Structure 1
Amino acid sequence: MTVVYDLLGVQSKEHGERGIARYVLSLALAIEELDPSAIDVYLVREYLPIPGVMEPLIRSGKVRTFRDMQSNPPKSGVFVVASPYELGEPLDSILPDWARDGHWQRAGILYDLIPMIFPEIYLTDLWSKRYRARTNTVANLDHLFAISEASKADGVRLLNKTPESITVIGAGADTRFAPPQEPQADVLSELQRRLPDLRESYLLFPSGIEWRKNLIRMFDAYSQLPADMRAEHQLVMVCRTNSAEQEMLEHETSTRGIQNDFLATGFVDDADLVRLYQAAGLVIFPSLYEGFGLPVLEARACGAPAICSDSSSLKEVQPDPTARFDPTDVDEMTAVLQRTLGNPDELKRLQDAEMPPFTWKWGAERTLPVLAELARRSSTRGMTKPRLAIVSPLPPQRSGIATYTYRLCAHLANEVDVTVLVDDETFALEAPDGVRIAKVKELLALERMDGRFDEVIYFMGNSHFHVAALEMLRQRPGAVLMHDVRMTGLYESEYYLAGDRLPQGTVGGLLHQLYPSRYRDVLYKQDIISPTVADRFGITLTREIAAHATRVFTHSQFAADSIMLDSGVVPEVLFPIPVHTAHSINGAPKGAGHPPVISTFGKVDPVKQPFLLIEAFAHVRQQFPNAQLVFVGDHDEQQEAALLAAIERGGVGDAVEITGHLSDAEYEAAIAATSIAVQLRAFTNGESSAAAADLIGSGVPVVVSQLGAMAELPEDVVVHVEQHATAAELAELLVKLLGDNARLESMMENGRLFAKANSYRAASDALVERLFPANPWNERRVSSDAFR
């Protein structure tokens, strides 16, 4: 187990002398001083400069090159990404592939998220995509060290991190930032030899040529001071500038008439920066937003009175509210300046105020226990939960597979570390506690950042909800759980959404590529394959999915046999479609005084034989005049019009309801009100009926077609009706059932037993056992089952 601290930030060619470079080095030195055994490796890039300031770490004997680590990486440990936003470096340099392995814990330093807070300013160029991608990397690290409470709050808010996963470690001023040992007049004289235009009394403005530093408002506020106060307190701006920036400063100051009271020092070394702080009458820092606000801490460490913005982390380095101002309010900034500069007592009070606790030792003391905990987690990673990615829709997407996934994940989250990958905006979706949501298209990036998932499983269905899953399966093979066997609807969706992915841009072209001589030539010329054509010619289109899958699972033997006949791949029957038992269980069949309610559940579709059911219901009404028929589920206007016409023809308009989409509570109420449910199919896509399972689990007697997976449901749990039964035959069966309370009670009791044996909890256990049979967590899980 190895703790690696990355020194990439110190090697930066652009800003290697200050800022993040200094932070990375100073924290490393403080950790090394407190506990030399805490860090095992300091990582450097052999192709970047090795500045002299690294000498103490080089002497530790623990510096290794990136090339050396790549050729012989440690097997496990903690990797500290000390400077994650080096955008000139590729991700593989920022987070090496060997550190993404599941046996590693990854930590990073969170300086700020300013570009995300002001995207209109910072995320408008070609670098914005790289910044966002890098931010995803930061968000997926196991732990973050924030340099301020403000940065931590931003991490929780913008990165969806938990407060517990971010530790505030602050920053510190270098030991050279201290009050002068010689008289202040001597310090000033030394400065004036280098800066001959520097006046005896000045207002120091440490800054940068950057929008966030609030230069224009600073100049506006200073220009509003009385002329005699400006003459007495020269505005001295410390900032590296080029010739264009110097011209800009000259223009802005002369426009305001303050050019004679303004001095831009250009770049100064640390020794002069310390002297400038030490001799300053007042230091002002009007920044709009900071990750920490080190100039304020450095100024105060040098004994200078300091005022600053009342924003972000600056409240932490200057806790006195009277020494802060709204950085967007020029008048308020002027007022605080005038009140402070003209008041020796106030300046002395600010000078003598207690310093905040931030030092490099303070930060190191907070870093070390976290590194130790991460190291402990790394060393026990083999006993942690397996990492599972499920590619599937989630509620409120209107898909039965979405509901299925939510219910299954509620139990899986107790056994494995679950991430559900969806083809939608993640903020709009729902997942059980402990389940992470990400986009399907982010799968490869997540694995680059966090290491490969132990398993990826695709829940594949015959609809547009799975188009992104199909595309990702082509790139990243994984296990596939086939909720449907006939996938012509999925490929039809791909034709409309991303037809360029299909051979010749059509489903017929794909059919010809996969099955070059199986079907009639006319089918190979079709843009799409309709459900009726697919049923007539036995087209299922499972071959591509099966070829990319590492394993294929189904819920029924019928589905497994169908896939084997179509693709040659032999699937594993995982478990029957699980039964949900959260609905109120019907205690007994509805008897006298309760009008019989015959319901059918699920999206209204001609394949589900609604017109046969309406015709049969007209016959049932002859025996049960008060009977009601309810269609529970979504429908479109065309389907509704056809249903209403059939209802009108059958003369049952007063007894039929078409609900449309229902909320969960309304759906449960519809189940509770049902006497018998009828779930028919004219033909099968190989799917198992989740609606039938819901009904069985709720104690509702169910009539299903003797077809496909539904034919495998036990005879004592459901009543089967022949696929091509007539309306009269279906009506006869329903009338007989409605009059046989004993059989209905037996079905309800057997349904409850079936539900108990085929619960989502049982399904979760079976899936974990099948996917991770040799994982140590399984042994721990099995041994703890006795306590459940």
Structure 2
Amino acid sequence: MQRFAREVTRALATMRPVTVVAPPGDLIDADLGAEIVQVGRLSGHAWEQVALPLHLRRSGSPLLLGLANTGPVAYRPQVVTCHDIIWARHPESFARSFRLLYATMTPLLLRRSAHVLTVSPFSRGELVREFGIDPRRITVVANAVSPAFHADGPAHDEGVPYVLAVSSPNRHKNFDALVAAFEAADLTHIHRLLIVGQQARAFHTQATTAAPRTRALGRVDDDELMRLYRGATAFAFPSLYEGFGIPPLEAQRMGTPVLAARSSALPDVLGDSALWVDPHDIDDMRRGLETLDGDPALRADLARRGRENEARFSWEASARRVSDVIDRVMTTRR
């Protein structure tokens, strides 16, 4: 969600005037190409629900564009982005307080918003089924890969060929199953599984079993992440639920073949550009890894299809869709 908010804001600011309203303190992203106004003394959801709407009302009640799943429930006019409803589909991944907050806020925000954005046809269907939202009130604005990600550059050298996996170790990300499949696989070329990701406080961690051929790297910066993508023989994404799923696209831009779970939004995003496996079947994942390991021609074909697939998405195109939504909402208000 942070990457979505950052990249949409940057691209949108080249198309129309944008003001970013932020809480006090150090900014995570200051280079957004837009005016940034820091207001209030609160932080977190208290800032979002109290200080933000108070500032907006004092400023003439402009249209608020929310890009990260939540927003001030009592403020109008507002366009809200709901990336997914994973808290409802996989409650085991979340703290109880987090689930209660989202279960309370999300229906209110969706009902009261002037329009709803989401990131995939799958997520749009989820919102329609779960909350009865009119699909005409929902616009799909896809994620994409950051313009800073380049296929050319240095590659990570692990000393042996490796499979890369990138995500936070939340339970629905299914890393335990991937590790079990990898450790059971009969591999002749690939010798190691590298896992990148760090836990967010809102989630329940999945305690990935220590395994001799698996190495957890924790959080890395984008430069190191690009090196890891470039050096990988393949990329694995075993997640049980995704509203979109950016890491497979990042791997595809780097020319890395992708093995992915046939679940949630991933077929929408990847089409025929990935080797599909059943995320609930460890043996099927094991067979997929063995297939990639033993078939260099397949890896090359998946790399080619992956590059073509990733090129379908761009932050500029997504920001244009957001700009069109803003224009329609503003016209309706007038």
TM-score when normalising by structure 2 = 0.86
Question: Which residue number corresponds to residue 165 of structure 1?
Answer: 137
User: Aligned pair count?
Assistant: 315
SS of the counterpart of 1:336?
A: helix
Change in 2 beyond 3 A, CA 1:126/1:42: closer
SS of the counterpart of 1:151?
A: helix
CA shift, 1:162, in A, is 1.0
Instruction: Within 5 Å, give how 1:219-230 maps onto structure 2.
Output: 219-226=179-186, 228-229=188-189
Question: Which residue number corresponds to residue 54 of structure 1?
Answer: 30
Change in 2 beyond 3 A, CA 1:166/1:320: same
Structure 2 runs not aligned, ≥5 long? 41-50
Say yes or no: does 1:174 pair with 2:146: yes
Distance 2:13 2:206 in 1: 45
Change in 2 beyond 3 A, CA 1:286/1:133: same
SS of the counterpart of 1:145?
A: strand
Instruction: Within 5 Å, give how 1:32-43 maps onto structure 2.
Output: 32-33=13-14, 35-37=15-17, 39=18, 41-43=19-21
CA shift, 1:265, in A, is 1.4
Contact 2:161-2:191 at 8 Å conserved across structures: yes
Distance 1:173 1:247 in 2: 26
Question: Which residue number corresponds to residue 44 of structure 2?
Answer: none
Question: Which residue number corresponds to residue 273 of structure 1?
Answer: 225
Instruction: Within 5 Å, give how 1:482-561 maps onto structure 2.
Output: none
User: CA-to-partner distance for each residue in 1:350-385, whole Å, 9 max, x for gaps?
Assistant: 111122411111211211111101011122xxxxxx
CA shift, 1:210, in A, is 1.1
Counterpart of 1:84 (choices 41, 61, 69) is 69
Say yes or no: does 1:282 pair with 2:234: yes
Counterpart of 1:314 (choices 260, 266, 288) is 266
Question: Which residue number corresponds to residue 253 of structure 1?
Answer: 210
Letter in 1 for 2:65: V
Question: Which residue number corresponds to residue 96 of structure 2?
Answer: 125
Structure 1 runs not aligned, ≥5 long? 1-19, 86-93, 182-186, 193-197, 380-788
Change in 2 beyond 3 A, CA 1:269/1:36: same
Higher helix share: 1
Change in 2 beyond 3 A, CA 1:235/1:246: farther
Question: Which residue number corresponds to residue 377 of structure 1?
Answer: 332
SS of the counterpart of 1:199?
A: coil
Question: Which residue number corresponds to residue 744 of structure 1?
Answer: none
CA shift, 1:247, in A, is 12
Change in 2 beyond 3 A, CA 1:113/1:233: same
CA shift, 1:180, in A, is 1.6
Distance 2:278 2:168 in 1: 19
Counterpart of 1:239 (choices 197, 205, 213) is 197
CA shift, 1:227, in A, is 5.3
SS of the counterpart of 1:253?
A: coil
User: CA-to-partner distance for each residue in 1:279-307, whole Å, 9 max, x for gaps?
Assistant: 11000100000111100011111111111
Contact 2:199-2:205 at 8 Å conserved across structures: yes
Contact 1:84-1:134 at 8 Å conserved across structures: no
CA shift, 1:21, in A, is 1.8
CA shift, 1:129, in A, is 2.2
Say yes or no: does 1:355 pair with 2:332: no
Counterpart of 2:8 (choices 27, 40, 56) is 27
Say yes or no: does 1:134 pair with 2:88: no
User: CA-to-partner distance for each residue in 1:516-566, whole Å, 9 max, x for gaps?
Assistant: xxxxxxxxxxxxxxxxxxxxxxxxxxxxxxxxxxxxxxxxxxxxxxxxxxx
Higher relative contact order (CA 8 A, sep 6+): 2
CA shift, 1:274, in A, is 0.6
Distance 1:151 1:224 in 2: 34
CA shift, 1:322, in A, is 6.1
Contact 1:293-1:313 at 8 Å conserved across structures: yes
Change in 2 beyond 3 A, CA 1:377/1:75: farther
Say yes or no: does 1:95 pair with 2:72: yes
User: CA-to-partner distance for each residue in 1:97-117, whole Å, 9 max, x for gaps?
Assistant: 5x33xxx3x211111101112
Question: Which residue number corresponds to residue 320 of structure 2?
Answer: 365
SS of the counterpart of 1:340?
A: helix
Letter in 2 for 1:49: D
Question: Which residue number corresponds to residue 514 of structure 1?
Answer: none
Contact 2:93-2:170 at 8 Å conserved across structures: no
CA shift, 1:76, in A, is 4.5
SS of the counterpart of 1:355?
A: helix
Contact 2:93-2:171 at 8 Å conserved across structures: no
Change in 2 beyond 3 A, CA 1:27/1:246: closer
Letter in 2 for 1:314: L
CA shift, 1:133, in A, is 0.9
Larger radius of gyration: 1
Change in 2 beyond 3 A, CA 1:207/1:365: same
Contact 1:310-1:321 at 8 Å conserved across structures: no
Letter in 2 for 1:285: F
Contact 1:122-1:128 at 8 Å conserved across structures: no
Letter in 2 for 1:300: Q
Contact 1:203-1:282 at 8 Å conserved across structures: yes
Task: Using the aligned pairs only, state the percent identity.
Answer: 23
Change in 2 beyond 3 A, CA 1:239/1:75: closer
SS of the counterpart of 2:147?
A: coil
Contact 1:172-1:294 at 8 Å conserved across structures: yes
Distance 2:220 2:323 in 1: 34
Change in 2 beyond 3 A, CA 1:80/1:208: same
SS of the counterpart of 2:58?
A: coil
Say yes or no: does 1:145 pair with 2:117: yes
Distance 1:219 1:63 in 2: 43
**CA-atom RMSD in angstroms:** 2.5
Question: Which residue number corresponds to residue 649 of structure 1?
Answer: none
Distance 2:279 2:72 in 1: 37
Letter in 1 for 2:30: M
Counterpart of 1:63 (choices 4, 12, 36) is 36
Distance 2:230 2:110 in 1: 40
